[in-house]
Structure 1
Amino acid sequence: MANLLEERMQQSFINHVDENLLMDCMRCGFCLPACPTYLITDQDEVHSPRGRIALMKAVRDGEVKWDGSVEEAFDVCLGCRACEPACPAGVQYGTLLEETRYAVQQAKPIGLSEKLTRKVAFDGLFANQQIMQGTVKLIQFYQTTGIQKVARKIGFMELFPKTLRDMEKVLPKITSKKQSSSPSNPKIKVAFFTGCLMDTMFQQTNQRTIELLESLGAEVVVPKGQACCGALHGHSGEIPKAKRNALQNIEAFQHTDYSYIVQNAGGCGAFLSEYGKLLATDEAKRFSEKLIDISSLLVQLGLTDKMARHQVPVEGIVTYQDSCHLRNVNKVWLEPRALLQASPGWEFKEMPNASGCCGSAGIYNILQPEIASQLLEQKMKGVRTVRPARIVTTNPGCLLQMKVGIEREGLTDEMEAVHIVDFVYESIFQTTKGV
């Protein structure tokens, strides 16, 4: 049985992992200091990008036999892609990791429990927005009926792993959608990618995204028929299902009468920006070329200049935690900082290792809680040196992870984590009463 699995795995790697991309790696080691898992595991080469690429090639060539330790090396990777900006050879590590996980899924025997979980998640929850909305309504019911208080009081939550208990504590309060109105003479027309989690658990943030853009003279269109971006599918070895979602989104945004497709979640933005690579079609490339992050668009529309005109007393320190994918894939890190630096009433201070992964990485903090917790602990050490009143993030996963960190450290009375849209919105409309 073991020999059969090894043969199947090798053949799957041959079929699905691009040898040419593997050969791009020069083994120079520039990626090592950029890799969080390499550093957190006491510089274990197996948990570095260079080491994992070597393993990919060795499995493909039949030089290393497949076993649990090899699988663990790939599972432990955060997929943060911090190695890519550090690589002088331009190795496409993200693509290689997704191909590897797909190859593993194709060859590895999967138990009934995992099959069911993947079916529910990738064919249901993150494929059908109505199912996602129904799930979030259950969370809203749990929050508003008193069930949440009772569950905590009787110790019901103690039946769950610590990671899930911590996440339950910081779930946002679910709000209802509101209607908005477009400006009479718009300066620009944009389409808004609402996202699955952002349009359900973070509806208020999405609503404020639209209001901010409209206040700056933008007409915002929300195309119907959108699906989850497919990032969780692609990162979990479900590439065909990621392509399915990508095709649905491209169909939803096929109109050409808007200048940009704007999104407000860093992880989604990275995957959306690579639809052209994922599908290799002209339609997909056009979709990706129109994509823009909300912070970039707000700066482009002149928000920083407008905020800088307001002179109000400084009420606290604000710092920023980069979304790995927004920074490493979309190359966006200056614009969020420009917005925070211009926000009236706040002093911006850079957090140590702000570009380092917080440990969220999609659902990594659930699947690999030990390493995720170590990374979060390191992150909170940096937070303590800055002592901010607000930690601003640009991704829902990062936001929840930083909220967990604040809760664990007992800092809820001193600071809070907020999405950049909510921070800027409140800074403008509550501090200065408008732009």
Structure 2
Amino acid sequence: MANSSAKFGKPAIEHSNPLARTLLEKLDYDQLTNCMRCGFCLPACPTFNETGMEPASPRGRIAMMKAAVDGLMVPDQQFEDQMNLCLGCRACEPACPADVKYGQLIEQTKEAIEEHAHHSAPVKVMRKTLFKGVFPKRGSLKLLGGSLAFYQKSGLQKIARGTGIMKLFPKHLAEMESILPPATSKGVVEQLGTFYAAKGEKVGTVAMFRGCIMDVMFAGTNVNTVELLSAAGFDVHIPDAQVCCGALHAHSGEMNDARALAKVNIEVFKKLGVDYVVSNAGGCGALLVEYDHLLEQDEQYREDAKWFAERVIDVSALLVEKGNPLQFAEQEAAQEGVKVTYQDSCHLRNVMKGSSAPRVLMKKVANTEYIEMVDADRCCGSAGVYNVVQPEMAGSILEHKMEHANNTQASYMLTSNPGCLLQMKLGIEKHQPEQTMKAMHIVDFLHERMISSK
């Protein structure tokens, strides 16, 4: 009979189901039993709000995890489907009075599921190509960026759209292709080098985490990040040997690969001895700040992982809390009160606790009116690659998000994460708001309007 209390440890059950055995091995049973089934997480959960179904809530998913571990249910396809339906936005964590680490539980569950997954041949090839051949390797990322740039600039993109070739792809993929930003093979290091000196009075030394896709699709944002930090008084290192943070791997159950990437980054950044490791992508930052948890069982890297995690900070928070004051002025000076709104990055808000700093910075821009969007803290449906693998749910969430966005009548929709940015671009493209609206990363918005440091 299964033990019902965490003080007795994990239940002593011999599972006949392979997935159940792996779940028993990997899941933190203390966290499973910490859930009080109070339901505070329900209104915070996007998938529960969309479906109204208990299994699509954090409480419901934890109940299924525990039932599988306790031998009360066999983790079947429906179990896997509900776990994969989770966005991983972690909005349930701030709402939980028992401080249940749901994000850790869902990653442990997905890791177990992936160990027993039976993917089709094309999916196997795609996962191996992306997770092992592209994201971890800078050379492959540069090739990807260069290939996309050629596609966009050579006329092939116009031909593909004009001839209707894109109609051969699933609708959601064709929609995403339509809003991709200009790609490049020349990231921030190629443009600025590996060190960028502070301007004016120096207040600290930081290292920038450039990301993988971020440095291919949003290299300009990385460059603008460095220049903002410099203007605020920071010497900025951009180590070229850094690799992908591992977030996409962790969210997809590839935890061993995520740990391997974390070790590389820890070694690279530890050598620099910087005050802070700066992220401009909420999704990356949320895993970086939890490298200590990711490697807590690794005796060799445990202490260094803690050193690293303690120094991770979002660029907005660093500018507000530690940087020299910056002045910003709205470009459209002829207009009165340009309206600006903001979509929270779930991981920046719920994991890094960084919801206030971006708002502080936006309100410093002269001649702007900040409009708080209803449910700005709700997930937009991007969630890494969620909008690609779960397009129906992601689309439904985006529809509700755009209702609130349109009601702000804002000219600018700002955010702090590349995935959110693309999702909001897609929403604007599909809805064509009455008030012309532009989606931007907050770094780009501020950089365009930066005057000088005091």
Name the TM-score class by shorter chain.
over 0.9
> By how many angstroms is 1:306 displaced?
3.4
Q: Secondary structure at the match of 1:360?
A: coil
Match of 1:418 among 431, 440, 444: 440
**Partner SS, residue 253 of structure 1:** helix
Given the two structures, how large is their TM-score scaled by the length of structure 2? 0.90
What corresponds to 2:40 in structure 1?
30
* Equivalenced residues, count: 428
Supply the distance in 2 between the matched residues of 1:433 and 1:171 (Cα, whole angstroms): 31
Partner of 1:368: 390
In 1, distance between residues paired with 2:221 and 2:350? 24
Q: CA deviation at 1:183?
A: 3.3
2:41/2:92 contact within 8 Å kept: yes
Quote the RMSD (CA, aligned, Å): 2.2
How far apart are 1:9 and its partner, in Å?
Answer: 1.2
Structure-1 separation of matches of 2:244 and 2:270: 16
Matched, 1:275 2:291: yes
Match of 1:14 among 24, 30, 46: 24
Determine helix, strand or coil for the equivalent of 1:330. coil
Residue 50 of structure 1 is matched in structure 2 by 59
Q: Which secondary structure state, in structure 2, belongs to the residue aligned with residue 320 of structure 1?
A: strand
Quote how far apart the aligned CAs of 1:32 are: 0.5
- The question of 1:106 aligning with 2:115 is answered yes
Of stretches 280-289 and 159-168 in structure 1, the one that deviates more from structure 2 is: 159-168
> Which stretch shifts more, 20-29 or 404-413?
404-413
- Name the CA distance, whole Å, in 2 between partners of 1:39 and 1:365: 17
Given candidates 219, 231, 234, the residue that maps to 2:235 is: 219
Q: Quickly say closer, same or farther: Cα 1:103–1:265, change in 2 above 3 A.
A: same
Residue 121 of structure 1: CA displacement?
A: 1.3
* Residues in 2 aligned to 1:102 and 1:89: alpha-carbon distance in whole angstroms: 24
Q: Which moved more, 1:8-17 or 1:349-358?
A: 8-17
- 1:182 corresponds to which residue? 197
Query: Does residue 306 of structure 2 align to residue 285 of structure 1?
Result: yes
Q: Residue 63 of structure 1 aligns with which residue?
A: 72
Q: d(CA) in 2 for partners of 1:217 and 1:434?
A: 8
Tell me which amino acid in the other structure corresponds to 1:375. Answer: I
In structure 2, the partner of 1:399 is 421
CA distance in 2, matches of 1:309, 1:135: 35
The reply on whether 1:342 has 2:364 as its aligned counterpart is: yes
2:176 alignment partner, one of 142, 162, 167:
167
Q: Deviations for 1:245-274, whole angstroms, at most 9, x for unmatched residues?
A: 100100110125321111100000000000
| Partner Cα distance (2:224, 2:332) in 1 | 23
Match of 2:141 in 1: 132
Matched AA of 1:389: S
- How far has the Cα of 1:199 moved from its partner? 1.3
Residue type at the aligned position of 2:68? V
| Change in CA separation of 1:375 and 1:309 when aligned onto 2, cut-off 3 Å | closer
Q: Which amino acid aligns with 1:319?
A: T
**Deviation readout 1:56-101 (Å, 9 max, x if unpaired):** 0111122112322111110110000000000000000000000001
Quick one: which of 378, 383, 391 aligns to 2:405?
A: 383
Given the superposition, is the C-alpha separation of residues 342 and 311 from structure 1 closer, same or farther in structure 2, using an over 3 Å criterion? farther
Change in CA separation of 1:374 and 1:348 when aligned onto 2, cut-off 3 Å: same
5+ residue gaps, structure 2: 1-14, 297-301
Shift of 1:186: 2.7
> What is the identity, as a one-letter code, of the residue corresponding to 2:191?
K
Contact 2:206 2:235 in 1 (8 A): yes
Q: Distance in 2 between matches of 1:303 and 1:70?
A: 51
Query: Partners in 2 of 1:78 and 1:232 — Cα distance?
Result: 12
Change (3 A) 1:44 1:309: closer
**Normalised by the size of structure 1, how large is the TM-score?**
0.94
Determine if the alignment matches structure 1 residue 263 to structure 2 residue 276: no
What SS does the aligned partner of 2:283 have? helix
Are 1:188 and 1:219, in contact at CA under 8 Å, matched by a contact in 2?
Answer: yes
Deviates more, 1:172-181 or 1:47-56: 172-181
Structure 1 residue runs of 5 or longer lacking an equivalent are none
**1:86 equivalenced with 2:61 (yes/no):** no
Question: Structure 1: how far apart are the matches of 2:404 and 2:62?
Answer: 31
Secondary structure of the residue aligned to 1:178 is helix
- Partners of 1:396 and 1:152 lie apart in 2 by 24
Q: Distance in 2 between matches of 1:272 and 1:369?
A: 27
Three-state SS of the structure 2 residue aligned to 1:226 is: coil
Say whether 1:351 aligns with 2:373: yes
Offset of residue 311 of structure 1: 12
